[in-house]
Structure 1
Amino acid sequence: MDLEALRQLAEPAGWALLADLPAYDEKQSLALGTALRQAGFAPELVSAALTQSRLRARATGKFGDLAADMLFTPDGLEQATRLSVAARHAHRFRSAGVRVVADLGCGIGADALALAGMALDVVAVERDPVTALVAAVNLRQFPEARVVAGDALDPDVLRDVLAGTSTGPVDGVWADPARRTSRGRLHRLEDYSPAVADLLALRSRVPALGMKLGPGIAHRDLPGDALVQWLSVAGDVLEADLWFGDLAPEGTGRGAVVVGRDGRATTLLDPGDPTGPITPAPSGPGASGGAAVGRYVFEPDGAIIRAGLVHRLAELLDARLLDPTIAFLTGDRLPADDDTGRCVAAFRVLDVMPYSLKRLRSYLRERRIGTLEIKKRGWDLDPARLRQQLALRGTASGTIILTRVAGEHRVVVVERVDPPAPA
């Protein structure tokens, strides 16, 4: 993305051009670009404006109506924290009594926006000059926020950043190290930019440190003095957040924050050493000696699975694992409240059978199932190929779970159950 074209776009004339553009329509973008150039606008400015129009349309999912007043880069938008999640980060800083936050690797400024929106002073640092300009434009309404273009861990830059603002020195640090390059996603923490180990070293200078990492981080790679929370929104696991010092009043451990479509959240925590072993959930027919598959099957939210908290969920549901190696729970009662219900997808069990293609095809045809949802775990089978083999016909819909039950492959025929209504 051209730095000079973005500078022109941020000027009043460029901003007015961007504001006057119609809603983005890919089919009309070529003709619109031609018309704007014929009207006398510089080709570079037209290209930048149309790119921003396209990115703004994509950004509404993360930023809502605010996207129409922001600038973006493609990579910056891809990696940016959605605004509702950034507000959760900012609230933790504010609740800890932090006043001045250094946002290291601020990207396009999503977290800095949320921090400044909660009346915190922010010093945001971004190494890429184009992205730094975008962040400065996005933060222009907040005089208490400033953007520094430079390497966040360069000693001279860091010294200036930690000096803070007129309010005082930095007393909280937020870091969102880059986890992607032009070649794809990075998996080793030492390859992140800035490197995670270098960011963790800042705890000796600013104990109140928060950090956003990818949700796939292994438990063995976690620092033992952290509160680590895997966060999901509407079923999508987005990130693993590390909290230290006053930002972790709960103490150390592994936790999950499950945010439903209604914006409400349920938090589970396993206190202690976050690198410690996962406590297994109970499995088998249970103490009562009931059936291996209960009246319901529960699929835990991905954040709970990542955090190793299936056993905590089993306690809340009075449930057990279908198989010791697979994260499907089964039990005889639905969640008692919306907090627990938010943590699972619930299914009422209609039938259980050993797998046989011929028998399953006959079963579904008898019930005129033409649309089939297939969920699987612990079974090396391609759902698309299975649908083809089933040759489904009919107007009804259904759901099956392909999994192991006490070590044996089973087909569990189910129907979805709506979660409890919010209290």
Structure 2
Amino acid sequence: MDLETFQWLLTDDGQRLLDRATHVYVDAEGDPVRAASSVRRIEPDADRAAAALTQVQLRARAVAKFGDDAVGMYFTPDALEQSTRARVAAHRAARLAAAQPASVIDLGCGIGGDLIAFARAGLTTAGVDLDPVRVAIAAANLAALGLPGATQVADATSIDLSGFAVAFADPARRSGRGRTFRVEDWTPPWSFVQSLLTRAAVVKVAPGVPHELIPAGVEAEWVSDDGEVKEASLWSGPLATVARRATVIGAGGLATLTEDDDPWQGRERPVRELGRFLYEPDGAVIRAGLVTAVAAGVGGGLIDEHIAWVTSDDSFHTPFARGYRVLEEVPFREKPLRAALRERSIGVLTIKTRGVDVVPETLRKRLALRGENTATLVLTRIKDTGTALLVAPF
């Protein structure tokens, strides 16, 4: 979609077409071929018809990230994929607002997902992006939601940042070959990110960012949403309060864990015998290197120094880990394991692996399960020995 077509969508005629395309899409039950044929009968201009129907389809997909806001917003496929989930953006904006900065500039604002969160948090916001279409969409999204904020087409690396209290950046992690994990391929590049981190800034990076890349004095926060690690944020200057943080967002709200919660920092990791309960730390906790903080929280230890399973003799509910009751140990080798599962009439099996070279989907097929019972199987190592445990989540 080019800029001219998008601007037409914002006109009265474009809005009427969007409204009719929405009804057509619903009537077609999401069938893109039927919907496209119907929209083309309404609007003969192919580009306008395609743009309207694409917006309807993207809005439906965007509900998972933006909730009810999505039905009135605008997107491009790539920008929607790259945008931050609303709950994650809201957490970052709330944390930033708590620091009471005078203003924040979004360097690479895309379609405005983070701008929306910043504005809702009461921050004075501005956003720039190299893509004129994304800038126009960001402005339209702010307007659609009744939020203030300025947008401009500009190169983030050439902006004078002196007038802004905080700079936020979400470098594009794609090259001509698709998604990239090389920081040299980011846009803006890693060298620009490093320069930002010498002042008050927040930079969104991939959750797999190597710890050795994080400059001294910069806080790294890993964030998971509904159990899925979504991103890491680097906080610099006065915004950095600790070195590492894991933030977990779920149905029960938000919880955060830092190295200050870990009495084992700088000490030998607490390994102990398998207890009556296992705890599977959230991915954000693992990325942040705070598994031993979870162990301390449940009065337990690790089953192995190098594996992120925590064990305890006590039952705890914690937002930072999923808990399981250990039922019994079963054979680790495939043939006797298959016999043990059949003996227990287990026909549906959830397989969790950590520290062993096993592909759950492949193993499940080879086990040829049958029976009326369901179970959860943990395959891991304890003292360098392959171990299989039947467990029950609680």
Distance in 2, matches of 1:194 and 1:2, equals 23
The structure-2 alpha-carbon separation of the partners of 1:246 and 1:19, relative to structure 1 and needing over 3 Å to count, comes to farther
Secondary structure at 2:35's aligned position in 1? helix
Aligned 1:316-327 pairs, distance under 5 A: 316-327=297-308
* Alpha-carbon distance change, 219 to 39 in structure 1, aligned in 2, over 3 angstroms: closer
- Listed one character per residue, the Cα deviations across residues 175-194 of structure 1 (whole Å, up to 9, x for unaligned) are 11111235222212232111
What per-residue deviation string (whole Å, max 9, x for no partner) do you get for residues 290-335 of structure 1?
xxx2101111111111011111111111112112221111110122
Identical counterparts, % of pairs: 40
For the residues of structure 1 that align with 2:267 and 2:91, how far apart are their CA atoms?
28
Per the alignment, residue 150 of structure 2 pairs with: 146
1:414 partner amino acid:
V
1:225 pairs, out of 217, 227, 243, with: 217
Q: Which residue of 2 aligns with 1:311?
A: 292
Residue-by-residue CA offset, 1:66-89 (whole Å, 9 max, x unaligned): 101110011110110111111111
Most deviating of 231-240 and 137-146: 137-146
Unmatched segments (≥5 aa) in structure 1: 164-168, 286-292, 418-423
Structure 1 residue 197: deviation in Å? 2.5
Which residue in 2 is equivalent to 1:192?
186
Tell me the CA shift for residue 354 of structure 1. Answer: 4.0
1:266 is the counterpart of 2:255: yes
- Report the alpha carbon displacement of residue 407 of structure 1 after superposing the two structures with TM: 1.0
Q: Secondary structure at the match of 2:187?
A: coil
Report if aligned partners of 1:229, 1:255 keep a CA contact under 8 Å in 2.
yes
- Cα shift at 1:27: 5.2
Is the 8 Å Cα contact of residues 330 and 340 (structure 2) preserved in structure 1?
Answer: no
1-side partners of 2:55 and 2:43: how far apart? Answer: 19
CA RMSD of aligned residues (A): 2.1
Q: For 1:48 and 1:111, locate their aligned partners in 2 and report how far apart those are by CA, in whole Å.
A: 24
Letter in 2 for 1:94: A
8 Å Cα contact 1:369-1:394 kept in structure 2 = yes
1:400: which partner in 2? 377
Q: Which residue number corresponds to residue 420 of structure 1?
A: none
Compute the TM-score of the two structures, normalised by the length of structure 2.
0.92
Q: SS where residue 371 of structure 1 aligns?
A: strand
Give yes or no for contact 1:227–1:253 (8 Å, CA) kept in 2. yes
Residue aligning to 1:421: none
- Equivalent positions of 1:67-82 (< 5 A) are 67-82=70-85
Query: Is it true that 1:281 corresponds to 2:291 in the alignment?
Result: no
Amino acid at match of 1:83: A
3-state SS, counterpart of residue 327 of structure 1 = strand
Q: Is 1:63 aligned to 2:66, yes or no?
A: yes
1:31 aligns with 2:34: yes
| Alignment partners' CA distance in 2, 1:374 and 1:278 | 33
Q: Deviations over 1:396-420 (max 9, x none)?
A: 1011111111111111111111xxx
**1:95 maps to which residue?**
98
Structure 1, 11-20 or 83-92: larger mean CA deviation: 11-20
Establish whether residue 181 from structure 1 lines up as the match of residue 175 from structure 2.
yes
1:18-417 matched pairs, under 5 angstroms: 18-20=18-20, 21-22=22-23, 23-24=25-26, 28-141=31-144, 142=146, 144-154=148-158, 158-159=159-160, 162=161, 169-202=163-196, 207-248=199-240, 250=241, 252-262=242-252, 264-270=253-259, 281-285=269-273, 293-335=274-316, 338=317, 341-417=318-394
- The offset of 1:98, in angstroms, is 1.1
CA distance in 2, matches of 1:280, 1:77: 44
SS in 1 for 2:47: helix
Closer, same or farther in 2 for the Cα pair 1:254/1:97, shift >3 Å?
same
Q: CA deviation at 1:393?
A: 1.0
Check conservation: 1:62, 1:81, Cα contact below 8 A.
Answer: yes
For residues 316 and 82 of structure 1, the distance between their equivalents in structure 2, rounded to whole angstroms, comes to: 29
Note the C-alpha offset of 1:35. 3.0
Give the 3 Å change call, closer, same or farther, for CA 404–103 of structure 1 in structure 2.
Answer: same
1:284·1:406 contact (CA, 8 Å) conserved in 2? no
Q: Which SS does the other structure have where 1:217 is aligned? A: coil
Between stretches 316-325 and 50-59, larger displacement belongs to: 316-325
| Amino acid aligned to 1:174 | F
Unaligned 5+ segments in structure 2 are none
TM superposition score normalised by structure 1? 0.86
> Match of 2:319, as an amino acid?
R
Q: Deviations over 1:134-180 (max 9, x none)?
A: 111112255631111121112xxx13xx47xxxxx321111111112
Find out whether 1:11 has 2:11 as its counterpart: yes
CA deviation map 1:275-300 (0-9, x unaligned): xx986531133xxxxxxx21011111
Q: How far 1:391 moved relative to its partner?
A: 1.6
